[in-house]
Structures are given as structure tokens and as C-alpha cells.
Chain A
Amino acid sequence: MKENYDVIVVGAGPAGSMAARFAAEKGVSVLMLEKDRDVGYPVRCGEAVSKTSLEKFITPDERWINARTNKLSFIAPNDKEVTIEFKETAYILERRIFDYELAKTAVAKGAEVLTRAYVNGLLFADGKVSGVKYEHRGEQKNASAKIVIAADGVESRVGRWAGLKTCVDFREMESCYQVTATGLELNDETCYFYFGRETAPEGYLWVFPKGNNSANIGIGISGLSGKKKSAQKYLDEFLAKKYPGVSALTAIAGGVPCSITLEKLTAPGIMLAGDAARQVNPLSGGGIASGMTGGSIAGRIAAEAIKKNDLTYISSYENEWREKVGKRHEIYDRIKNGIYGFKDEKFNSLAESFLKVPFEKRSLNQLFKAALINNPGLLLDIAKVFIGR
């Protein structure tokens, strides 16, 4: 391990690995630090991602694809179920393998990786971030870098140390809990979403098939809802009711920042990517594809800034992100806030009316339209998302 790099990436999730890869690809030296002992584990994710967005970064491989889904099923509080054929495929991943393979693509481009390296401070010089302090196998070390990319997840502290406001409002933090259960009878082509105050207030509960009679069953509720009852309790109750006696092979907690992207993604010598930057689709809570996109832009721009010998160039990252993805997330966020306010009766009546639409004529666009029919402003937003793109 050297003591000087062009770029240091903190965190080896999808955003970090893509930042490392796209920087290394441009010929700059890159070190990626991961606090856990394994890249890709523990998995804190529902593991669903759209095929199209994934294929921009990696060729699909059976080793990390558990299921291919093309239907979405929404279940209202009164158990009425609306199934919609999705235009594209959503993969359910095996992320402990997927993340590992992503990191390997960064290494293949020349990036170095160090696990069990816990970053606990930043180095500053000449009014900018100039490296990181980290603990590795009980020893405190320093490594300097021209640019640090903080892809350290929802718990991001690295950005804070550089003065970036990464703290998430607790009302916008989805508090999540998930089990991977087995012994289930499931349609492996369908992703299920449960809604309602009793099931998942200000959020949703998901059942994503993983093949071989297994599924990720998880829930996300807002921090405000969590004040009354925890995500774990909600999920325990659902499992007892819906899948009594089922065996959970893994159980995991997590937090998803469901809000618009942070306004400031850079400070002198530092860039944020992935969950740390809140590059998460605030409506779905999905962060794999958007994190990879954010990481790839950050990595490329960091390398370009170094090559240009103009580190102020990193601020162009904010614009590029906003143009490519961020603007759309702002719309998703408004739709999310519209749906958050729904009472159970609204979900029920929506499902009832939508069930009258023949299956082949149903679309996600129509469903949202029907859902937000009394809210003209949001309808315009939906038009932008599904038509105007």
C-alpha cells in the first residue's frame, strides 16, 4: 500500500466501485477503502434493479442474478391485488457476489482495494481535503490524495468532516428491515408491493423473489412512523400473518435516505457518491443503479480534474448529476410525498377502480395517474416522468 494516490474512494459498494473504476480507467492512481472485512457483505438491500440501467455498467451474469421479474403487483390494505406487466425486466440480484464482481472491474482497471480499513478522519492542506486517516488491523495510518470520493453510505461521516451536510432528516430516512425467507410458494416473475397504514406507514413492504422458493421480504417506513413502532415489529407482524412458520435465513436492518440529492456534492478536494450523496430514487428507495451512475460520473470527473491539473473542475459533477438523474429524482420525490399522504381508503378505492382495467391495458403510468387524479400538479410531474423523458 502506497501513501500517496491521485484518488481515494471511501466505501466499496456499487457507487464506490464505479467511482474507482471510472477514475482508474482514465489512468490515475486509485485506492478504495472498505471498512468491512468483505466487499459486498453484509447485504443491506432489497436487491432489485432494472436490467437496462444495470447493463450500462456490467454484463449480466447468472452467478449474481437470482430472478428476472417483469410484473409488479400492488396490494392494497384490503388485500385487493393489482398486477401490472412491466415494460422492462427487473433483476433480483445476489449482491454479495454482485458487489464483489463490481469491485473486480475496478481492480481490472488498476484500482487498489483494502478491506477492514476504517476511515476515521480527513487530512487537510492548503484549504482542501488532502487525504484520509484510517485504521487498519489496529494501526492508525494516513494516505494522501488529490481527491477523496466519499461513497461511505447512509452513515456517511466523511462528507461531514469536510463541511458537507450529509445528515439526513429523520423523517426522510426510511428505516428498513428485511429477511431472506425460504420455503415460500411464489411467482418468480413478480415483485410484490404492500401498502397501507397498518402494513407500512409512509413507505411500503416488498416481496422480491430470489428463485428456489426464496424471497427478500422487507419493509421501509419513515423515521416519523418509526417513532411509534419499529420496522422490525411491522415486518414480524406481516410475516406472522402472511407467512406463519416461514424460515428466515438472513435478517438485516438498514436505512435509505429517500429525499432529493444533496445540493452540494463537492467541497475542495472531496466528492460524494451513492447513498452518501443521497443518489437514491426517493419514490422506490432504489439506489443501486443511481449510485453506480453517480459513482461513475464522480470517478470520471475526478480523473479529468487531475489530468487538467485543475481540481476546481470537480464542481461540474453537481450539474452533470442533476441533468442526468437528479432532476428526475426531484419529481419522484414530489410523487412520493403525494403518496405518503394517502389514507387506507384511498389505496383501497384505487385498487378497486384499477382492477376494472383489463390486465393488458394496465400501466404504471396509468396507475400513478389514477392515484393522483385530484392533484393536478403531480399529474404534470407524472407526465414528465413517463412521457416527457
Chain B
Amino acid sequence: MHKDKENWKLLIEINQDKCDFCGCCVGVCPEDAIELKEAQIGIIESECTNCSKCVWSCPVEAIKFNKDELKKQTVVMDI
């Protein structure tokens, strides 16, 4: 997936307190952008494309897509 490196911002967040470290998100991540050790998890920002597949497949709602941040980024186009 093409990624505009300059304007791109990570919009996916993992809540470490909710996470069960099960690996479901790692399995569905198309970019190999999630690192899971025994009970440590993190998104590899340089690889993530904000595709949200990890958000949808998380059994315990530990991963969220930051909509507020997205709104800040949205540019309203005048026609």
C-alpha cells in the first residue's frame, strides 16, 4: 500500500491494559506491523498503514482507531 510518509500519521492505538496478548491482530496484519513478545505489544509505526484490520479482529476491543485524530486531519474541501 502506498504511504505518503510526510503527511502520514499513526491512527491505531493498542490499550495495553485491555490487551490479552493473543496475537489475533498480528495474524491479520497485512504489513507485519505488530510486534508481540510474551506480554508486550506494539505497532511498528514505519510499517502500519492504518488499515484497521487489527481493530476489527481484536476479541477484546483493545485496539482502537483514533477518530478524533482523523477528524483533525480531515481537510474540508470548498467547491
A232 CA to B29 CA, complexed, in Å: 20
- Complex contacts, A148 vs chain B, CB 8 Å: none
Instruction: Check: B70 CB closer than 8 A to any chain A CB.
Output: no
Which of B24, B36, B53, B59 has most chain A Cβ within 10 Å?
B59
Is there contact, CB below 8 Å, between A118 and B37? yes
Is there contact, CB below 8 Å, between A230 and B28? no
Is there contact, CB below 8 Å, between A255 and B28? yes
- Complex contacts, A262 vs chain B, CB 8 Å: none
CB < 8 Å neighbour of B58 from A37, A160, A169, A230 = A230
Is there contact, CB below 8 Å, between A232 and B23? no
Is there contact, CB below 8 Å, between B56 and A224? yes
Q: Mark A208-249, 1 if CB is under 8 A from B, else 0.
A: 000000000000000110110011110000000000000000
Instruction: Check: A257 CB closer than 8 A to any chain B CB.
Output: yes
CB < 8 Å neighbour of B24 from A36, A37, A135, A154 = A154
Is there contact, CB below 8 Å, between B56 and A157? no
A257 CA to B26 CA, complexed, in Å: 12
* Number of residues on chain B facing chain A (CB within 8 A): 21
Is there contact, CB below 8 Å, between B37 and A167? no
A359 to chain B, nearest CB (A): 35
A86 CA to B39 CA, complexed, in Å: 39
Is there contact, CB below 8 Å, between A231 and B23? no
A233 CA to B62 CA, complexed, in Å: 12
Given contacts A160-B32, A170-B28, whether A44 and B22 have CB atoms under 8 Å apart is yes
A159 to chain B, nearest CB (A): 10
CB < 8 Å neighbour of B59 from A37, A135, A175 = A175
- Complex contacts, B30 vs chain A, CB 8 Å: 167
A80 to chain B, nearest CB (A): 28
Instruction: Check: A116 CB closer than 8 A to any chain B CB.
Output: yes
- Complex contacts, B20 vs chain A, CB 8 Å: 252-254
Q: Mark A21-44, 1 if CB is under 8 A from B, else 0.
A: 000000000000001110000001
Given contacts A154-B24, A173-B28, A175-B24, whether A254 and B38 have CB atoms under 8 Å apart is no
Is there contact, CB below 8 Å, between A116 and B38? yes
Instruction: Check: A291 CB closer than 8 A to any chain B CB.
Output: no
Instruction: Check: A332 CB closer than 8 A to any chain B CB.
Output: no
Is there contact, CB below 8 Å, between B23 and A154? yes
Is there contact, CB below 8 Å, between B22 and A254? yes
- Complex contacts, B23 vs chain A, CB 8 Å: 153-155, 254-255
- Complex contacts, B60 vs chain A, CB 8 Å: 177, 230-232, 253
- Complex contacts, B59 vs chain A, CB 8 Å: 175-177, 226, 230-232, 253-255
Given contacts A175-B57, A176-B59, whether A257 and B38 have CB atoms under 8 Å apart is no
23 A-B pairs in the complex with CB atoms less than 8 angstroms apart: A35-B38, A36-B38, A44-B22, A116-B38, A154-B27, A155-B26, A160-B32, A166-B27, A167-B27, A170-B28, A177-B59, A223-B28, A226-B58, A230-B60, A230-B61, A232-B61, A233-B61, A253-B20, A253-B60, A254-B59, A255-B24, A255-B27, A255-B57
